[in-house]
Structure 1
Amino acid sequence: MVVVQSSKVPLPHPSSLSPPPHPHTTSILFEPSSLSLALTHSDSSISLYNSFSPHSHSLPHPQTLIPSPSSSSTFLLLQQPSSSSSSAAAAVLFIVSSPHRSRILLRLYRLRRDPPSFARVTGVLCCHKDLRFEPSLGVLLDAKHGAAVRLAGSVNYFALYALSSNRVWVFAVKDDDGGDEDDGGGVRLMRCAVIECARPVFSMSVALGFLILGEENGVRVFGLRRLVKGRGGKRKQLRNRGGGLEVVNCNGDLEGKMERHGVAVKQTNVKFKHDDRDGGSCFVALKGNEVKTKSTTKVSMSIKAISIQAVSQRMFLILDSRGDLHLLCLSNSGIGVDITSNVKQLHRIMKVQSLAVLPDLSTMSQTIWISDGCHSVHMFTAMDIENALNEANDCNDKLMHIPVNRVLFSSEKIQDIISLAANSILILGQGSLYAYAIS
Structure 2
Amino acid sequence: MVVVQGTKVPLPHPSSLSPSPHPLPTTSILFEPSSLSLALTHSDSSLSLYPSFSPFSPSQTLTLTLTIPSPSSSSTFLLLQNHTNPTSSVGPTVLFIVSSPHRTGILLRLYRLRRLETPSFSRVTDVLCSHKDLRFEPNLGVVLNAKHGASVRLAGSVNYFALHALSSNKVWVFAVKDDDDGGLRLMRCAVIECTRPVFSVNVAFGFLILGEENGVRVFGLRRLVKGRSGKRVGNSKQLRNGGGGRGAGLEAVNCNGDLKGKMERYVVATAVKQTNVKLKHDNRDGGSCFVTLKVNEVKTKSPTKVSMSIKAISIQAVSQRMFLILDSHGDLHLLSLSNSGIGVDITGNVLQLPHIMKVRSLAVLPDLSTMSQTIWISDGCHSVHMFTAMDIENALNEADGNDCNEKLMHLPVIRVLFSSEKIQDIISLSANSILILGQGNIYFCFYT
Relative to the length of structure 2, the TM-score reads 0.89
Amino acid at match of 1:412: E
Return the match for 1:104 from 96, 103, 106.
106
In structure 2, the CA distance between the partners of 1:319 and 1:211, relative to structure 1 (3 Å rule), is: same
Could you tell me how far apart the structure 2 residues matched to 1:43 and 1:52 are? 23
Could you tell me how far apart the structure 1 residues matched to 2:152 and 2:444 are? 30
Amino acid at match of 1:301: M
Task: Tell me how far 1:244 sits from its aligned partner.
Answer: 2.5
In structure 2, the CA distance between the partners of 1:429 and 1:10, relative to structure 1 (3 Å rule), is: farther
Return the match for 1:420 from 423, 429, 438.
429
- Identical residues among aligned pairs (%): 75
Quick check: 1:30 aligned with 2:31?
Answer: yes
SS in 2 for 1:392: helix
Tell which deviates more after alignment, 6-15 or 281-290. 6-15
CA deviation string 1:67-101 (max 9, x = no partner)? 00000000001112233369961010000000000
Relative to the length of structure 1, the TM-score reads 0.90
Corresponding residue number in structure 2 for 1:83: 85
Task: Tell me how far 1:247 sits from its aligned partner.
Answer: 5.0
More strand by share: 1
| Aligned 1:11-50 pairs, distance under 5 A | 11-16=11-16, 17=18, 19=20, 21-50=22-51
Corresponding residue number in structure 2 for 1:183: none
Kept after mapping to 2: 8 A contact 1:80/1:174: no
Kept after mapping to 2: 8 A contact 1:356/1:417: yes
In structure 2, the CA distance between the partners of 1:241 and 1:89, relative to structure 1 (3 Å rule), is: closer
Corresponding residue number in structure 1 for 2:366: 359
Quick check: 1:402 aligned with 2:422?
Answer: no
| Aligned 1:172-183 pairs, distance under 5 A | 172-179=175-182
SS in 1 for 2:112: strand
| Aligned 1:206-245 pairs, distance under 5 A | 206-232=203-229, 233=231, 234-235=247-248, 240=255, 242=257, 243-245=263-265
Could you tell me how far apart the structure 1 residues matched to 2:206 and 2:89 are? 16
Task: Tell me how far 1:57 sits from its aligned partner.
Answer: 4.3
Corresponding residue number in structure 2 for 1:71: 73
Return the match for 1:204 from 185, 201, 206.
201
Kept after mapping to 2: 8 A contact 1:7/1:434: yes
Quick check: 1:188 aligned with 2:210?
Answer: no
SS in 2 for 1:434: strand
Amino acid at match of 1:256: K
Could you tell me how far apart the structure 2 residues matched to 1:208 and 1:79 are? 14
SS in 1 for 2:368: coil
| Aligned 1:128-147 pairs, distance under 5 A | 128-147=131-150
Task: Tell me how far 1:404 sits from its aligned partner.
Answer: 0.5
Corresponding residue number in structure 2 for 1:281: 288
Task: Tell me how far 1:21 sits from its aligned partner.
Answer: 4.4
Task: Tell me how far 1:348 sits from its aligned partner.
Answer: 0.6
CA deviation string 1:113-138 (max 9, x = no partner)? 22410000010011111110000000
Corresponding residue number in structure 2 for 1:323: 330
Corresponding residue number in structure 2 for 1:256: 278
Could you tell me how far apart the structure 1 residues matched to 2:87 and 2:213 are? 36
Corresponding residue number in structure 2 for 1:161: 164
In structure 2, the CA distance between the partners of 1:203 and 1:371, relative to structure 1 (3 Å rule), is: same
Aligned-residue RMSD, C-alpha: 2.0
Corresponding residue number in structure 2 for 1:384: 391
Could you tell me how far apart the structure 1 residues matched to 2:228 and 2:65 are? 45
Could you tell me how far apart the structure 1 residues matched to 2:390 and 2:364 are? 13
| Aligned 1:293-304 pairs, distance under 5 A | 293-304=300-311
Could you tell me how far apart the structure 2 residues matched to 1:317 and 1:432 are? 27
Task: Tell me how far 1:412 sits from its aligned partner.
Answer: 1.0
Quick check: 1:51 aligned with 2:76?
Answer: no
Corresponding residue number in structure 1 for 2:5: 5
In structure 2, the CA distance between the partners of 1:235 and 1:7, relative to structure 1 (3 Å rule), is: farther
